[in-house]
Structure 1
């Protein structure tokens, strides 16, 4: 199928490269970005993308393009979902759909009304390590989940310019972990409680955000999740998951570029974590694109639906309110 990509920034280029190299079911006809320039043209040429435009309408009005990948800034996601649905295009959209819950619902409804597929880009569901833990839970190997622990720590904070418009740590970073906690629990969150501090960079606090946070979540099933995030882990990109249940415990460790270990009298040295998300989740980005292509080409359900995109936003809203007011917040308060 022919696809168009809206947004030629970092994640747009990651998807374009992966599709060109690893997803033969998809052919990129066009990429659009209001800031498209010579560098964008050069990138497109390198990966055989024939059309570069500054206007999303170039993609939305092309009858040959069957699906759209929305990789633009978050504040444009719901707008482009609605416009893509109205144009009859199937949609893959990066997370989150929107900061505004009413707009999230409107975007989801627009896709349903148009009868097009909508998949949300929670790539960690497709990671081989996280998926292995999920499969163990689904197979009943850990019994009933009681406690879920997720550590997600970036190697360095994003630019302050990004922090000012990202919606904050709960929307731009922990939202992945909200989705993963829900995915592993197999249940919906009912209450969120947040603690947050500014320990990495005072400028993040001045921008109205925190850079270090711990959130506890209680689910309808009674299971409890604990998520910790940091904007700066000096040793690399730290991504770990644990599910403790009535019959056992499933745990994954960090991926490393290699598993070689050097043992000497002075001590033992093993490989360090990946340094950036793009390396850590390379396979996951490819697998989510393959899943989207499979859903469109073969008429299957998408594995991460619009409603899957809604619930993490609700959790992020509850976490933000909890931090602001210093109390547990029920999901029903923000829903």
Structure 2
């Protein structure tokens, strides 16, 4: 297969290595807004660097979009119009209007679009999903997620990130629905600034907590921070009437017990997301190549990105207005983004799909 990679930054360079090592990839084409960076990544992985226009003109069998977030929606539209299956890192866009427009274009072209929610391909989250589905926990009633970065991103990244809810916690919002099989119906979100001033200057929070109500009355909490010097910490706990399970609790979890005699973590914590989820990133691209060939169903469609973004948008409203926000309230805004009622969406059971 001839695969185009658009974006040669940190995650793009990682994807380049995965794609070039895949037995089904015969040629790798690399494009980036910085041509020198594209040439560097292409040279490192035996690919060919070229501008985006030439990449599409080369008629790749599929494209992987790992560019800056602001370019995602336009590249999705371009791939759809060219009839090229696309994999895109989250999010599709930083707002509902951009997300809606890209999904409408993909739907109108009947295009393949897989979204990069890599936690769905992590063995721990898969085992938790299976435990819930099998009834091992009994009646699920409480879920907790933790997302903690060891250090903040560069100051220049923050104004372009979409904020802590859209950039970081959006993974938690997606995995909550995927593991539990239940949609989020209401959120109550709070944010704080405990570190550098550039978060506050961007209108963002560096620390956040969200109380989420899921279908059936299941309660969930999701916390996130950019300041956890103990190490990269991603966890999920699920508790039911019969049992409870946890994802991400290992000998590398950066959590020290102060109980007498308790042993410290046996190994150093994961340095960051590429280390913690490296195998999941590779697995999702392996699946995408099969999706692009038409031999496997899409496991993470564009509407999954929209559903997670709706929760993130509800959190932003809640933080700003200091009130509980039903996700249905934000769904109504998403529907209003469709010009003249046209486009390829449908509503399934009252949920924008």
Q: Say whether the fold is shared (TM-score over 0.5).
A: yes
- CA gap of 1:328–1:2, structure 2 versus 1, over 3 A, is same
In the other structure, the counterpart of 1:7 is: 7
Q: Which of 282, 296, 310 is the equivalent residue of 1:300?
A: 296
The answer to whether the aligner puts 1:271 opposite 2:267 as a matched pair is: yes
Cα offset, 1:257, TM superposition: 6.3
In the alignment, the residues of structure 1 paired with residue 178 and residue 206 of structure 2 have an alpha-carbon distance, to the nearest angstrom, of: 25
Residue pairs, 1:84-163, within 5 angstroms: 84-163=79-158
Residue pairs, 1:1-335, within 5 angstroms: 1-21=1-21, 23-37=22-36, 39-49=37-47, 51-53=48-50, 55-63=51-59, 65-255=60-250, 268-269=263-264, 270-335=266-331
Query: Secondary structure of the residue that 1:284 maps to in structure 2?
Result: helix
CA contact (8 A) 1:191 1:218 kept: yes
Unaligned runs of 5+ in 1: 259-265
CA distance in 2, matches of 1:294, 1:278: 23
The Cα RMSD (Å) is 1.9
Q: Which residue of 1 aligns with 2:334?
A: none
Deviation at 1:268, TM superposition (A): 4.0
Q: Which runs of 5+ in 2 are unaligned?
A: 254-260, 332-353
CA–CA distance in structure 2, aligned partners of residues 29 and 20 of structure 1:
7
Closer, same or farther in 2 for the Cα pair 1:80/1:40, shift >3 Å?
Answer: closer
TM-superposition CA deviations, 1:48-80 (whole Å, max 9, x none): 10x212x311222222x1111111111111111
Offset of residue 293 of structure 1: 1.2
> Could you report, residue by residue, the CA deviation over 1:206-245 in whole angstroms, capped at 9, with x for unpaired residues?
2211111001111222212110001011111101111112
Output the CA distance in 1 between the equivalents of 2:101 and 2:134. 35
Q: What SS does the corresponding residue of 1:160 show, helix, strand or coil?
A: coil
Q: Provide Cα deviations, 1:266-304, integer angstroms capped at 9, x if missing partner.
A: 984421310111111110101101111122224322110
Please say if residues 16 and 41 of structure 2, whose CA atoms lie closer than 8 Å, have aligned partners that are also in contact. no
Distance apart, 1:112 and its partner CA: 2.2
Check the 8 A contact 1:8/1:36 in 2, yes or no: no
Q: TM-score, normalised by structure 1?
A: 0.92
Shift of 1:108: 1.7
Tell me, yes or no, if the aligned pair for 2:126 and 2:179 is still in contact at 8 Å: no
Separation (CA, whole Å) in 2 of partners of 1:256 and 1:48: 37
Whole-Å separation in 2 of the counterparts to 1:215 and 1:27: 45
Matched residues, number: 324
